[in-house]
């Protein structure tokens, strides 16, 4: 396609010419060149300014010398009003210098009236250049739009990548937090299992020690020997208290949860706390009105509060303020393993204005035997015991601390009505076991894998007037009962290798449902024992035995043992 083929049809021309003759001559030239056209002719400045509108004309042809104004002024008006329209001077007096100046100021070209034969070629070139300029401007606009679109897309993609990166960082942080919490939980669980086993073995040793000491004291030794034996007995009992703390951490202690008003508990402990803490520390309480009752062991929660208060006192070397607070709280999802699960809890908090803890100490504060106190001033079991008690009770613990400002330990306990309350199954029906004579000595089967512990248990019960049989394992006890089931009570250790006490008792209940079982144990997994039914405080004797507890509980079980129905026995006979 040639440049002439791209000319508009008709060609719209704005002609600025005061001469009628020259106007006719220009039209004749366009006709001779075969260029269809439509000419709008103006003479005055006002008419030109009114006609020079954007997109109204394809070409402006202007004389240079005009009666009322000059061609350069017309060029300025055109460049301002319609800069896209080509402007060509057609003049008989246009000199070279003026023509160059006109081109510098925006004119497209010029033709002298003496050489009008050049006009068609000039028009075609001017329109072609205008078309090229238009296409270039359109391309530039499209390029700018493309660049802008690309920039917007890059910005959007960058924003998406930034959001994805932020989400990835959040997931990494969350994963690291979960991994830390998991490692902490695994470490605490492993230590809990270890301490539980240590406590059980330690209690077995204490049972032997305390039992033999008791026998020696009954032998009429001299007064000095009795004092020494008393000192040894007190030391062994201190060891027993130590195992109690270990069992609390490992969540193996026996708890008796009852509805407790913690406000009353805190108020009743005021005098005890003041005497334990000393006058250098000011005690304040913030007790919430209408506090929910907590389902918790009343004795243990008092020990926990006292334990935390003593820890707070030790953190305030030069005195300070100790605050005990209670509140009803709703807990969200936990962030650390020692914290409680989401739900409603009754909270008791102990705060101090002491030294606080560093993050390194806080990470290990619940580990048993970990302490920052001087040798002899702390066992490292205080917070471990609080942790174990709170978890076993169905709650948790949270510590907020800042170095140099103090520490707050919050203990969360289940409220009454939210904790699961199990119901004991009914006692098994009598199966018509053989009736013993009233004057017969009760027969007790003592089952324990530890020979020394079994000897102590058997000796105590024999001295209490019972006839004793012994078995070294759960399986041996079952075999002994199969040979002779005339047993009034089985006194059995809970933790034994192979078949443990719970498994052996379950099998005994199935085969001999009228034979009761009294557990003796260094720790009592209450959840496991509860599956057997009829297991409560009255059916568990804690090792080491103290103050005739074993004998009293054995007698109580025998006294409350259900008597068989004579009619039922005779009918079955």
The answer to the question of residue 475 being in a domain is yes
Cβ 257 vs Cβ 419: under 8 Å = yes
List pLDDT tens digits, range 112-128.
888 888 889 888 888 88
**Domains held by the chain: number:** 3
Of 58, 54, 97, 57, nearest to 79 (Cα)?
A: 54
Domain match, 482 and 559 both: yes
Cβ 213 vs Cβ 549: under 8 Å = no
pLDDT at 492 (0 to 100): 93
Domain match, 404 and 510 both: no
Strand 443-447 vs strand 467-471: parallel, antiparallel, or unpaired?
parallel
Domain match, 389 and 282 both: yes
Tokens representing 2 are 């040639």
pLDDT at 113 (0 to 100): 83
Q: How far apart are CA 541 and CA 522, in angstroms?
A: 9
Domain match, 477 and 531 both: yes
Domain match, 286 and 353 both: yes
Domain match, 18 and 72 both: yes
pLDDT at 322 (0 to 100): 92
**What CATH number has the domain bearing residue 563?**
3.40.50.2300
Q: How far apart are CA 51 and CA 341, in angstroms?
A: 84
CB atoms within 10 A of CB 227: 11
Q: Which residue has the higher pLDDT, 4 or 383?
A: 383
The answer to the question of residue 210 being in a domain is no
**What CATH number has the domain bearing residue 343?**
3.30.565.10
The answer to the question of residue 170 being in a domain is no
Domain match, 473 and 332 both: no
List pLDDT tens digits, range 57-90.
999 999 888 888 888 999 999 999 999 999 999 8
* Mean of the per-residue pLDDT values of the chain: 80
Q: How many CA atoms does the CB half-sphere of 519 hold within 13 Å?
A: 30
Domain match, 126 and 17 both: yes
Say if residue 569 is exposed, middle or buried (CB neighbours under 10 Å; 0-12, 13-18, 19+).
middle
* 501-527 b/e (C-beta count within 10 Å ≥ 16 → b): bbebbbbbbeebebbbbbbbbbbbbbe
pLDDT at 368 (0 to 100): 64
Q: How far apart are CA 413 and CA 394, in angstroms?
A: 7
List pLDDT tens digits, range 29-51.
988 888 898 999 999 999 999 99
Domain match, 289 and 405 both: yes
Cβ 113 vs Cβ 92: under 8 Å = yes
Q: How far apart are CA 204 and CA 334, in angstroms?
A: 38
Q: Looking at the predicted structure, is the pLDDT value of residue 192 above 70?
A: no
Domain match, 397 and 455 both: no
Sheet strands side by side (includes 396-402)? 281-286, 320-331, 343-352, 406-414, 396-402
The answer to the question of residue 454 being in a domain is yes
Q: Looking at the predicted structure, is the pLDDT value of residue 485 above 70?
A: yes
What residue spans of 464-548 are helical by DSSP H?
A: 474-483, 501-511, 526-530
Residue holding tokens 């203990």? Answer: 411
Answer with the one of 91, 106, 132 that is the final residue of a domain. Answer: 132
Q: Residue 505 — left, alpha, or beta (φ > 0 → left; ψ -120 to 50 → alpha)?
A: alpha
pLDDT band at 381 (very low <50, low <70, confident <90, very high): low
Q: How far apart are CA 27 and CA 4, in angstroms?
A: 18
Cβ 78 vs Cβ 60: under 8 Å = yes
How many residues does this entry show for the chain?
573
The values of phi and psi at residue 204, to 5°, are -60, -45
The answer to the question of residue 314 being in a domain is yes
- Of 211-225, 381-395, 498-512, 556-570, the range with the lowest mean pLDDT is 556-570
- Of 201-215, 370-384, 435-449, the range with the lowest mean pLDDT is 370-384
Domain match, 284 and 401 both: yes
Give the residue-averaged pLDDT of 544-553: 88
Domain match, 477 and 402 both: no
Tokens representing 195 are 């301490």
Answer with the one of 132, 149, 181 that is the final residue of a domain. Answer: 132
pLDDT at 53 (0 to 100): 93
Q: Looking at the predicted structure, is the pLDDT value of residue 315 above 90?
A: no
DSSP 3-state of 284: strand
Note the maximum CA span of the chain: 159
Answer with the one of 132, 167, 194 that is the final residue of a domain. Answer: 132
DSSP 3-state of 89: strand
User: Which range of residues forms the domain containing residue 502?
Assistant: 443-572
Cβ 202 vs Cβ 243: under 8 Å = yes
């Amino acid at each position: 396609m040639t440049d002439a083929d791209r000319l508009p049809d008709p060609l719209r021309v704005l002609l600025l010419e005061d001469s009628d003759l020259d106007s006719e001559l220009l039209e004749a030239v366009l006709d001779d060149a075969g260029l269809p056209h439509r000419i709008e002719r103006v003479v005055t400045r006002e008419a030109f300014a009114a006609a020079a509108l954007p997109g109204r004309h394809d070409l402006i042809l202007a004389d240079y010398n005009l009666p009322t104004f000059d061609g350069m002024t017309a060029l300025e008006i055109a460049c301002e009003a319609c800069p896209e329209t080509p402007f060509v001077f057609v003049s008989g007096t246009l000199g070279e210098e003026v023509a160059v100046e006109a081109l510098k100021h925006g004119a497209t070209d010029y033709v002298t009236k003496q050489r009008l034969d050049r006009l068609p070629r000039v028009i075609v070139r001017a329109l072609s250049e205008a078309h090229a300029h238009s296409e270039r401007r359109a391309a530039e606009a499209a390029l700018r739009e493309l660049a802008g679109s690309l920039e917007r897309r890059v910005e959007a993609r960058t924003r998406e990548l930034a959001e994805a990166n932020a989400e990835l960082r959040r997931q990494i942080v969350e994963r690291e937090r979960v991994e830390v919490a998991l490692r902490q939980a695994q470490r605490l669980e492993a230590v809990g299992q270890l301490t539980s086993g240590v406590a059980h073995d330690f209690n077995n040793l204490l049972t032997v020690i305390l039992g033999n000491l008791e026998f020696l004291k009954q032998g009429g030794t001299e007064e000095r020997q009795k004092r020494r034996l008393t000192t040894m007995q007190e030391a062994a009992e201190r060891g027993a208290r130590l195992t109690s703390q270990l069992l609390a951490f490992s969540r193996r202690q026996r708890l008796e949860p009852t509805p407790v008003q913690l406000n009353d508990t805190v108020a009743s402990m005021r005098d005890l706390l003041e005497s334990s803490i000393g006058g250098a520390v000011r005690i304040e309480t913030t007790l919430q009105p209408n506090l929910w009752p907590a389902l918790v062991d009343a004795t243990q929660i008092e020990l926990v509060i006292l334990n935390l208060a003593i820890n707070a006192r030790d953190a305030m070397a030069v005195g300070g303020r100790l605050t005990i607070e209670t509140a009803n709280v709703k807990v969200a999802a936990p962030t650390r393993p020692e914290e409680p699960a989401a739900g409603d809890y009754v909270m008791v908090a102990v705060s101090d204005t002491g030294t606080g803890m560093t993050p390194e100490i806080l990470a290990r504060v619940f580990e048993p035997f970990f302490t920052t106190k001087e040798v002899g001033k702390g066992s490292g079991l205080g917070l471990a015991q609080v942790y174990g008690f709170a978890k076993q009770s169905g709650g948790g613990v949270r510590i907020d601390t800042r170095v140099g400002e103090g520490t707050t330990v919050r203990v969360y306990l289940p409220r009454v009505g939210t904790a699961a309350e199990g119901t004991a199954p009914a006692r098994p029906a009598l199966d018509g076991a053989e009736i013993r004579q009233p004057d017969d000595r009760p027969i007790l089967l003592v089952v324990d894998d530890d020979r020394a512990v079994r000897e102590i248990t058997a000796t105590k019960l024999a001295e209490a007037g019972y006839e004793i049989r012994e078995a070294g394992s759960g399986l041996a006890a079952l075999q002994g009962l199969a040979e002779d089931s005339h047993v009034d009570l089985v006194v059995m250790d809970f933790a034994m290798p192979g078949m443990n006490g719970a498994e052996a008792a379950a099998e005994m209940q199935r085969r001999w449902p009228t034979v009761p079982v009294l557990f003796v144990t260094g720790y009592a997994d209450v959840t496991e024992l509860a599956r057997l039914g009829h297991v409560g405080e009255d059916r568990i004797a804690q090792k080491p035995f103290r103050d005739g507890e074993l004998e009293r509980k054995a007698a109580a079980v025998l006294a409350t043992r259900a008597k068989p129905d004579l009619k039922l026995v005779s009918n079955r006979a």
